[in-house]
Amino acid sequence: MNGVRHVLILGGTTEARQLAAELVADPTLRVTSSLAGRVARPRLPAGEVRIGGFGGPEGLARWLREQQVDALIDATHPFAGTISFNAAQAAAEVHVPLLALRRPGWVAGPGDDWHDAASLEEAADALPALGERVFLTTGRMGLAAFAHLEDMWFLVRSVDPPEGTVPPRMEVLLDRGPFTVEGERELLRRHRIDVLVTKDSGAAATAAKLVAARAAGVPVVVVRRPPVPAGVPVATDVAGAVGWLRPVPSAP
């Protein structure tokens, strides 16, 4: 299309917005960002934006063909596993180059009391031995995994109100990062939090809670992120994604 390559970014993360902002400045690229639409008031990236699902891998493959996409970059949240596997399947079907942009995960340091969990259910199983007042920062979905813990109290922080089954003893805090260490320490103190549950999102904007937990001696249950689909190359930052994209030829 007149020498202009079409890049689709599966977005919703800070890195996705940063990548879109950098790529739209290139006149040889047409940049479209796709957002899942799960947040009521998402932060919109530069360039073209579409909101909503594709209808599984078949729908995404059809969209890639119809819109003549030349490169696909999966810059979704590290825990948005379904769309990542849909992207891998669709890209393989349409023969569109695919890259996963994943920020590095968090690493425990001196003084951290971290407990590894493979899932939200495993995190819930670990809680009774660690504390009674839980700061739950795993998002508004998946709270049903903790609903059976009737004797525990939960402070749930999310951007939008929780949905579905939730713990019976719960307070909801609607807020969006970035957060400060001072603010997180005050939150732990005010609510008498004795255990923190988080997903290994790796985001600097939400890492302050880990520093606050370390200072307060609060144990942290860290849910491991799902793997990137086999065979998909990974960039750990925007510069790496840009470097991958530059030599990618147009799809046949």
Question: What does the pLDDT profile of the chain (252 residues) look like in tens digits?
Answer: 468 999 999 998 999 999 999 999 999 999 999 998 766 677 789 999 999 999 999 999 999 999 999 999 999 989 887 999 999 999 999 999 999 999 999 999 999 999 999 999 999 999 999 999 999 999 888 999 999 999 999 999 998 899 899 999 999 999 988 899 999 999 999 999 999 999 998 877 778 999 999 999 999 999 999 999 999 999 999 999 999 998 654 544
- Pick the closest to residue 200 from 25, 77, 32 (CA basis): 77
Tokens, residue 32: 């479209």
At 247 the pLDDT is 67
Phi, psi of 220 (to 5 degrees): -125, 125
Question: Given this model, what pLDDT does residue 1 score?
Answer: 47
Strand partners, 135: 155, 196
What count of other Cβ atoms lies within 10 Å of the Cβ of residue 18? 18
Q: Which residue has the tokens 């001072």?
A: 182
Three-state SS at 2 = coil
Instruction: Identify the structural domains of the chain with CATH numbers, from first to last.
Output: 5-104+227-245 (3.40.50.720), 114-223 (3.40.50)
With tokens 């047409």, the residue in question is 30
Instruction: Give the global pTM.
Output: 0.83
Separation in Å, CA 111 to CA 24, 136, 240: 43, 21, 32
